Copies of this chain bind each other. A is one copy, B any other.
Amino acid sequence: MRDKPMFNKLALIGIGLIGSSISHVVRREGLVGSIAVSTRSDQTLARAEVLGLGDHYTTNAADAVVDADLIIHCAPVGAGAAIAEQIAPALKPGAIVTDVGSVKASVIAQMKPHMPKGVHFIAGHPVAGTEYSGPDAGFASLFENHWVILTPEDDVDETALDTLKQFWQACGANVDVMEASHHDLVLAITSHIPQLISYNIVDTAANLESVTQSEVMKYSAGGFRDFTRLASSDPTMWRDIYLHNKDAVLETLGRFSEDLTAMQRAIRWGDGDALFKIFTRTRQIRKDIIAVGQETDSPNFGRNEPLE
């Protein structure tokens, strides 16, 4: 706990996994004086109140941002324009507005035009999460040792940018700064395509006539079960990501499909050497990810097996 909070008032627009995790960590670290929680859903808002995630609760985002020094859009990326339009008239001069979405160019295009003069808009993305969603899913250590990417534009106020960096560092994260278009490409390969092929393999398995669902489940330890984790993530959030990062996703998916076709051809023609070569070079990458502290070296992710 610090002597003095970094911000007098934080407004969280959206209170799912990320919003609720921010609430937990800023409380633990004493980073803000008070938290206003806003969400369009009465039910979610009521749940957030039961969990004590804020000090004020409202379904009206404009009410939440009054007097707030830091406003974080934690709703699906497709909601950016509507939220920006709604909150703009109520924003305090000097306030910092940011977001947590997995797409940055679209969020900037949606929100920045609405921002009043004197308000600092800086798009951001904490690269952390779980397969669970909603206000119950959050926890204070979610961002710890993970990376937050900020994508300020050329006209950014450097003091505001420094303040936002310090905020995320105080939440336990490392901070990187890059261009929005580059972020969207990097996340396409590190997140959006992995997620898409997880959804796809799970859906393909669900629709096979020749293999029963019971068989898919019983023998899922052969590898399939790993993919069901990502494929159980929030559908609205992910729909919005694909709709708003279309170009980078399609470009990267094209590369994935091209490589997959080459692998398919190697299998068809019995080219074991080509397969062996690929399977050998992919081995190293996990070791590197473990070395940079982004993955566990425990077998099977440290799943406690046998399962109950």
Contact = CB atoms under 8 A, between A and B. Distances in A.
Contacts of A177: none
B200 A186 contact: no
Interface residues of A, number: 114
B238 A222 contact: no
Given A147-B218, A243-B270, A283 B204 contact: no
Number of copies: 2
Nearest to A78: B272
8 tightest A-B CB contacts, nearest first? A191-B222, A235-B279, A130-B299, A301-B301, A228-B286, A144-B306, A194-B223, A145-B306
Interface stretch (A42-50, A90-98, A208-216): A208-216
A205 B190 contact: yes
A208 B285 contact: no
B223 A226 contact: no
A243 B259 contact: no
11 contacts: A127-B219, A185-B210, A186-B219, A197-B201, A213-B285, A217-B289, A226-B226, A228-B295, A239-B279, A246-B270, A296-B304
A239 B272 contact: yes
B307 A304 contact: no
Contact of A289 (B149, B228, B261, B288): B228
A190 B307 contact: no
Given A194-B201, A219-B190, A268-B246, A131 B305 contact: no
Contacts of A213: 285, 288
A208 to B, nearest CB: 6
B223 A230 contact: yes
Contact of A267 (B250, B257, B303): B250
A301 B302 contact: yes
A158 interface: no
Given A194-B227, A205-B189, A225-B294, A216 B285 contact: yes
Interface in A52-71: none
Contacts of A304: 296, 298, 302
A121 interface: no
Contact of A283 (B197, B235, B257): B235
A198 interface: yes
B222 A286 contact: no
A305 B213 CA distance: 32
B193 A299 contact: no
A4 interface: no
Interface string A88-107: 00000000000000100000
Contacts of A192: 223
A222 B102 contact: yes
Contacts of A226: 194, 198, 226-227, 229-230, 301
Contacts of A141: 305-306
